[in-house]
């Protein structure tokens, strides 16, 4: 494979796709071809030993944090335990994400039970909320009006959303790329809040009472221990550090996957293979990146084969890259540092492109009237 095909890409212009691939020869049935190779290679088989060892290791790590918490007592070194807890909970969230995609166990119901327990009781998030949101994302990544991950939520991912911001939000939007990672310090709190909003809403929610029971019990135990055994200020500091690390780690793991990639207009339709590959970005680094990001570094392969267990994604990458080279479909991969630079640059460009920098707000106000 030529080195030019696997792109360590710069951002380039903010762009949308044109309907140029859906009817191209070889692309309509391209997914069937690559899927056949993947299946025949055994890459969709479950890897029970891997996930058993992973969950066992994470449970031991969680036990180590609890032990450290007990031994440290009334000490500001507890903030180290808080940071470690944030990392461990994110790793549990990765496994819950994989269970939601049927990557861990054989049957769908068994995966759901595991995912719901890990997400709700261990991490404190609603599995039902995550499933609804993430399923929509996988069906239409980066497609306007269909992908919830590019809808406005403090950060504007589309120029049309940036243009609607006023006042302080408009000022934030202009340089939102620089604010993105600091804002992730609040993402842990946001994930918990969104989960509770979903579970207490009037709309039907599958497993509502199970998840509410898990989450309420989890927070009662967690907060009860913190505020019983630590001084008030230290307990709040512990909670803040844990939530901050959790939010940054979660956001920094998911953000490089699609931000800055092609945006598909709502009316444009692409074949499944092109849609998933063109809107996804891999992160180089092999086994270390996979351990750090819970397999999300193989985002292209994950979107093409969402039920593929984490250990098989690396081998699938070689198959998919060769298939993309044959068909002339761009395959994007870069390192983690460059990916964050792309995300920041993209978000800033979205914010700055919302209006002409030479526009005078006062003149525009009277021009409209």
Asked whether residue 29 carries a pLDDT value surpassing 90, the answer given is no
Residue 141: CB partners within 8 Å, gap ≥ 6?
A: 147, 149, 258, 275, 276, 279, 280, 303
Residue range 239-289, pLDDT digits in tens: 999 999 999 999 999 999 999 898 899 888 888 998 999 999 999 999 999
174: confidence class by pLDDT, cuts 50, 70, 90:
confident
CA separation for the pair 216, 94 (Å, rounded) = 21
**Virtual CA dihedral for 112, 118, 119, 121, nearest 10 degrees?**
120
- The whole-chain average pLDDT of the chain stands at 88
158: confidence class by pLDDT, cuts 50, 70, 90:
confident
Global confidence as pTM: 0.88
Asked whether residue 20 carries a pLDDT value surpassing 80, the answer given is no
Average pLDDT over residues 310-332: 93
pLDDT at 246: 98
Quickly count: other Cβ atoms within 10 Å of residue 60's Cβ: 9
CA separation for the pair 94, 253 (Å, rounded) = 10
Alpha-carbon radius of gyration of the chain? 22
Asked whether residue 11 carries a pLDDT value surpassing 50, the answer given is no
CA separation for the pair 199, 132 (Å, rounded) = 12
Residue range 62-91, pLDDT digits in tens: 999 999 999 999 999 999 999 999 999 999
Average pLDDT over residues 113-128: 97
Which of the two residues, 36 and 12, has the higher pLDDT score?
36
Scanning the chain, the segments in alpha helix (DSSP H) are 30-40, 48-72, 78-100, 108-116, 127-139, 159-163, 167-174, 176-183, 187-199, 208-229, 232-254, 272-278, 286-293, 299-304, 313-327, 336-352, 361-368
pLDDT at 172: 86
93: confidence class by pLDDT, cuts 50, 70, 90:
very high
Residue 132's nearest CA partner among 83, 24, 204, 232 is 204
pLDDT at 67: 97
Residue range 181-237, pLDDT digits in tens: 999 999 999 999 999 999 999 889 999 999 999 999 999 999 999 999 999 999 999
18: confidence class by pLDDT, cuts 50, 70, 90:
very low
pLDDT at 22: 42
pLDDT at 266: 87
Asked whether residue 5 carries a pLDDT value surpassing 50, the answer given is no
Asked whether residue 1 carries a pLDDT value surpassing 50, the answer given is no
Asked whether residue 328 carries a pLDDT value surpassing 70, the answer given is yes
pLDDT at 119: 97
CA separation for the pair 243, 184 (Å, rounded) = 10
């Amino acid at each position: 494979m030529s080195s030019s095909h696997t792109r360590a890409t710069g951002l380039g212009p903010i762009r949308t796709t044109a309907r140029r691939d859906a009817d191209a020869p070889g692309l309509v049935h391209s997914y069937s071809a690559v899927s056949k190779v993947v299946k025949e290679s055994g890459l969709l088989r479950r890897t029970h030993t891997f996930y058993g060892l992973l969950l066992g290791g994470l449970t031991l790590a969680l036990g180590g944090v609890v032990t450290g918490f007990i031994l440290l007592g009334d000490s500001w070194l507890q903030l180290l335990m808080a940071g470690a807890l944030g990392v461990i909970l994110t790793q549990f969230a990765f496994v819950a994400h994989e269970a939601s995609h049927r990557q861990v166990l054989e049957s769908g119901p068994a995966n759901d039970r595991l995912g719901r327990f890990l997400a709700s009781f261990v991490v404190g998030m609603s599995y039902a909320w995550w499933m609804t949101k993430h399923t929509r994302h996988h069906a239409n990544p980066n497609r306007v009006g269909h992908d919830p991950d590019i809808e406005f939520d403090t950060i504007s991912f589309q120029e049309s959303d940036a243009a609607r911001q006023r006042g302080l939000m408009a000022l934030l939007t202009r340089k939102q790329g620089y604010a993105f990672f600091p804002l992730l310090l609040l993402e842990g709190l946001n994930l918990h809040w969104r989960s509770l909003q979903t579970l207490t809403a009037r709309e039907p929610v599958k497993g509502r009472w199970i998840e509410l029971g898990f989450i309420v019990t989890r927070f009662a135990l967690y907060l009860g221990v913190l505020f019983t055994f630590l001084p008030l200020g230290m307990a709040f500091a512990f909670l803040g550090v844990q939530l901050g690390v959790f939010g940054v780690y979660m956001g920094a793991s998911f953000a490089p996957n699609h931000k800055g990639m092609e945006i598909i207009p709502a009316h444009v339709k692409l074949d499944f293979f092109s849609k998933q590959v063109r809107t996804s970005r891999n992160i180089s680094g092999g086994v270390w990146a996979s351990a750090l990001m819970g397999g999300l570094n193989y985002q292209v392969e994950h979107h093409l084969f969402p039920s593929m267990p984490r250990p098989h994604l690396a081998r699938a990458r070689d198959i998919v890259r060769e298939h993309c080279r044959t068909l002339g479909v761009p395959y994007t991969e870069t390192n983690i540092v460059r990916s964050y630079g792309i995300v920041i640059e993209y978000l800033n460009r979205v914010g700055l492109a919302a209006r002409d920098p030479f526009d005078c707000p006062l003149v525009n106000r009277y021009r409209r009237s």
